[in-house]
């Protein structure tokens, strides 16, 4: 594909002057008594045209061919680079401190935009945090060498200590600085080891946190809230160590639990944990039921009238129905046939899918990119549907890894349970500069607008958008232009809700955007999609030389022909 461009634009007065001069030259040539007069006029015309085209400076745009390359960071040895180059058969480029790349074996320094071809797949070895994704079609990481990895809870109970674990993946020591709430912390983490930061919050609310090294920065907020004790029922398809250890976990958290386990066809075993006399049943369903954990197989075998009783009670209490997967089993998630099924990922629960009426767990990876996660959820105004896709977490307990066990199940509670409050909301997990940020709100009182402000005191009022499925659900959306912490303020709530806006450069290297390349506007039905198509890249080749040669040829012909006649 070829396109012609011009460095200078055509000006009308240029054309007029050129035409006048050509007419005068034409008259002069015509009055000469020369043979081959027509050839001389043609040569004269070519000389004028080529001279003006030289002024316009034309060039040809040729679409760059696609080619894959190997990118490595500064710390990789020459021996490793050579072996990688031989293994993959690709040109290798090593990142320099000035953000340019050294073409291995040639000594040339260049940016990716200066290549005479378009990068199809960038195979990345090492840690390249500032790699602009606009230069390539696909990034495939051979090995990512991030400096640190941070584990932290999304929320904790008031009175508990906030524990943050920082893992150093590098062989060398890494210095970190952290700001947790109002406390500043600096420490060094030895190579290939981990360190723990503990912080005891004194009140409920959000703890804003920042952890940084020389190369990486992490921002997150942890919510501190008063402990809630729920009424929980468990329906198990068979006796199971997973439910046994989970029951002990719920007991330690002071929840009230009634577990019913099928031990053979038509026979069940019941167990009660922290069950108070004040808790009443209605046909096997607790009146105060907040959460129902159920094996997919057990739900599949449940009578329709009993399913409806559970659903009715959970909706009355604003509860959660949480399925645990079983191999080769399916559950019907579209419990209301008049409404579409939406399956949400907890990495960003605003990503909606409409084409699945049921979830077949042995094919869960076929859903979409979010299927790598262990937890899914669907949020209705009065009920949360959850799916947990992991097994045998009790083995962590058996091996003494109590913190890891609690971390797994705490994420289930953080993502799939609605607290007893008049206001329930969820929002985009990651906010990215110039990308749409979504906030959804369920509330008895309709909020016509919400306020968003940042640390610079810039304030923006967002008008709600209608929900096409549930009138109780209110949508808000905007494109953040400023980096850093932002806060959502609801009209009737004293507490603000924080979120951090990341730069596009940082976010494009995150797991979030590399895995979840969805068209948000289309998924949330706000308006027609405005997704920008990827721009094509071109090489620019000047063709002025050819017109200069034509000009010289025309002038030489006129000069020689004038001398010989």
Q: Where are the beta strands (DSSP E) in 43-182?
A: 58-63, 66-72, 91-95, 101-103, 109-110, 118-125, 136-143, 148-151, 155-157, 162-168, 174-180
Tell me: the pLDDT tens digits for 149-169?
Answer: 787 877 888 888 898 888 887
pLDDT the model gives residue 488: 93
> Rounded to an integer, what is the distance from CA 490 to the centroid of its chain?
26
pLDDT the model gives residue 333: 45
**Cα–Cα distance measured from residue 377 to residue 56, given in angstroms and rounded to the nearest whole number:** 61
CA distances to 31, 59, 184, 539, 547 from 542, rounded to whole Å, are 38, 4, 58, 10, 11
Max mean pLDDT among 41-55, 284-298, 482-496 falls in 284-298
List Cβ neighbours of 471 (8 Å cut-off, separation of 6 or more): none
- 449-454: strand order across its sheet: 431-432, 497-502, 484-489, 449-454, 459-463
pLDDT the model gives residue 248: 93
**Cα–Cα distance measured from residue 530 to residue 528, given in angstroms and rounded to the nearest whole number:** 6
**Cα–Cα distance measured from residue 141 to residue 71, given in angstroms and rounded to the nearest whole number:** 10
Reduce the DSSP state of residue 221 to 3 states and report it: strand
Q: Any bridge partners for residue 478, and if so which?
A: 437
Dihedral in degrees, nearest 10, Cα atoms 132, 138, 144, 146: 30
Dihedral in degrees, nearest 10, Cα atoms 110, 112, 116, 120: 150
Residue 396 has pLDDT above 80, yes or no: yes
pLDDT band at 258 (very low <50, low <70, confident <90, very high): very high
Tokens, residue 538: 């071109």
**Cα–Cα distance measured from residue 341 to residue 222, given in angstroms and rounded to the nearest whole number:** 30
- 148-151: strand order across its sheet: 148-151, 162-168, 194-199
List Cβ neighbours of 27 (8 Å cut-off, separation of 6 or more): none
pLDDT the model gives residue 293: 95
| Mean pLDDT of all residues in 54-79 | 79
Handedness of CA 127, 128, 134, 138 (dihedral sign): negative
Angle, helices 544-564 vs 37-56, to 10°: value is: 150
pLDDT band at 338 (very low <50, low <70, confident <90, very high): very low
**Cα–Cα distance measured from residue 348 to residue 130, given in angstroms and rounded to the nearest whole number:** 24
pLDDT the model gives residue 505: 61
Query: Would you say the pTM of this structure is higher than 0.85?
Result: no
Contact 431, 452 (CB under 8 A): no
Q: Regarding predicted confidence, which is higher, 190 or 491?
A: 190
Angle 379-233-257 from CA coordinates, rounded to 5°: 125
Largest CA distance in the chain: 125
Tell me: the pLDDT tens digits for 90-145?
Answer: 889 988 865 688 898 888 888 887 888 888 888 888 777 656 666 777 777 776 66
Q: Regarding predicted confidence, which is higher, 9 or 134?
A: 9
Residue 202 has pLDDT above 80, yes or no: yes
Q: Regarding predicted confidence, which is higher, 438 or 542?
A: 438
pLDDT the model gives residue 147: 72
Contact 429, 347 (CB under 8 A): yes
Tokens 């009920």, located at residue: 383
Contact 228, 420 (CB under 8 A): yes
Contact 123, 71 (CB under 8 A): yes
Tell me: the pLDDT tens digits for 310-330?
Answer: 999 999 998 999 988 765 454
Q: Regarding predicted confidence, which is higher, 25 or 254?
A: 254
Of the candidates 99, 92, 88, the residue with the CA atom closest to the CA atom of residue 76: 92
| Mean pLDDT of all residues in 457-469 | 80
Residue 417 has pLDDT above 80, yes or no: yes
Considering only 180-184, 235-239, 317-321, 551-555, which range has the smallest mean pLDDT?
551-555
**Cα–Cα distance measured from residue 256 to residue 463, given in angstroms and rounded to the nearest whole number:** 41
Tell me: the pLDDT tens digits for 535-555?
Answer: 556 656 666 777 778 778 877
pLDDT the model gives residue 234: 96
Upper half-sphere CA count for residue 264 (Cβ side, 13 Å)? 0
pLDDT band at 347 (very low <50, low <70, confident <90, very high): very low
CA distances to 53, 179, 549, 551 from 8, rounded to whole Å, are 10, 54, 20, 19
Tokens, residue 278: 């004040």
pLDDT band at 359 (very low <50, low <70, confident <90, very high): very low
Residue 349 has pLDDT above 80, yes or no: no
Tokens 């040809």, located at residue: 60
Angle, helices 402-416 vs 241-252, to 10°: value is: 80
**Cα–Cα distance measured from residue 139 to residue 133, given in angstroms and rounded to the nearest whole number:** 8
Contact 321, 417 (CB under 8 A): no
- Rg value, the chain, Cα: 34
CA distances to 74, 96, 125, 483, 509 from 111, rounded to whole Å, are 15, 10, 17, 26, 18
pLDDT the model gives residue 2: 53
């Amino acid at each position: 594909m070829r396109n012609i461009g011009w460095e200078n634009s055509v000006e009308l007065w240029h054309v007029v002057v050129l035409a006048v001069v050509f007419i005068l030259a034409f008259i002069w040539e015509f009055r000469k008594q020369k043979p081959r007069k027509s050839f001389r006029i043609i040569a004269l015309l070519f000389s004028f045209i080529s001279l003006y085209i030289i002024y316009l400076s034309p060039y040809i745009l040729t679409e760059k061919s696609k080619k894959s390359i190997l990118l490595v960071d500064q710390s990789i040895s020459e021996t490793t680079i050579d072996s990688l180059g031989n293994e993959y058969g690709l040109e290798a480029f090593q990142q320099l401190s000035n953000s340019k790349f050294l073409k291995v074996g040639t000594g040339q320094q260049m940016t990716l935009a200066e290549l005479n071809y378009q990068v199809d797949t960038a195979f990345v070895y090492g840690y390249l945090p500032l790699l602009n994704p606009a230069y390539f079609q696909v990034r495939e990481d051979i090995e990512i060498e991030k400096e640190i990895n941070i584990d932290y809870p999304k929320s904790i109970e008031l009175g508990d200590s906030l524990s943050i674990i920082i893992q150093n993946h590098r062989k060398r020591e890494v210095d970190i600085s952290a700001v947790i709430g109002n406390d500043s912390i600096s420490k060094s983490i030895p190579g290939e080891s981990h360190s723990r930061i503990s912080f005891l919050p004194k009140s409920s609310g959000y703890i804003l946190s920042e952890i940084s090294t020389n190369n990486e920065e992490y921002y997150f907020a942890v919510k501190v809230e008063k402990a809630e004790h729920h009424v929980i029922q468990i329906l198990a398809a068979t006796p199971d160590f997973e439910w046994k250890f989970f029951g002990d976990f719920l007991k330690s958290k002071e929840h009230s639990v009634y577990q019913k386990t099928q031990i053979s066809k038509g026979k069940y075993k019941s167990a009660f944990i922290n069950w108070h006399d004040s808790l009443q049943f209605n046909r096997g369903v607790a009146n105060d039921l907040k959460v129902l954990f159920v094996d997919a197989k057990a739900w599949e075998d449940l009578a329709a009238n009993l399913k409806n009783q559970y659903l009715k009670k959970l909706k009355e209490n604003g509860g959660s129905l949480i399925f645990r997967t079983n191999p080769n089993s399916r559950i019907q998630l579209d419990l209301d046939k008049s409404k579409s099924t939406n399956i949400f990922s907890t990495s960003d629960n605003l990503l909606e899918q409409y084409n699945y009426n049921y979830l077949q767990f042995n094919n869960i990876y076929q859903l979409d990119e979010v299927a790598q996660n262990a937890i899914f959820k669907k949020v209705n105004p009065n009920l949360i549907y959850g799916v947990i896709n992991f097994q045998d977490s009790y083995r962590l307990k058996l091996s003494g890894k109590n913190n890891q066990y609690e971390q797994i199940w705490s994420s289930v509670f953080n993502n799939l349970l609605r607290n007893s409050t008049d206001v329930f909301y969820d929002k985009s997990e990651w906010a990215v500069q110039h990308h749409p940020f979504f906030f959804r709100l369920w509330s008895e009182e309709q909020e016509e607008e919400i306020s968003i402000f940042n640390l610079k005191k810039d304030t923006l009022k967002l008008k709600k958008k209608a929900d096409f499925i549930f009138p109780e659900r209110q949508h808000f959306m905007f494109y953040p232009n400023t980096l850093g912490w932002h806060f959502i303020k609801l009209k009737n709530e004293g507490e603000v809700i924080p979120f951090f806006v990341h730069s596009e450069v940082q976010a494009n290297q995150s797991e979030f955007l590399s895995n979840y390349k969805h068209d948000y506007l289309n998924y949330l039905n706000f308006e027609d999609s405005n997704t920008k198509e990827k721009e094509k890249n071109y090489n620019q080749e000047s063709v002025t030389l050819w017109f200069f040669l034509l000009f010289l040829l025309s002038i030489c012909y006129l000069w020689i022909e004038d001398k010989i006649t």
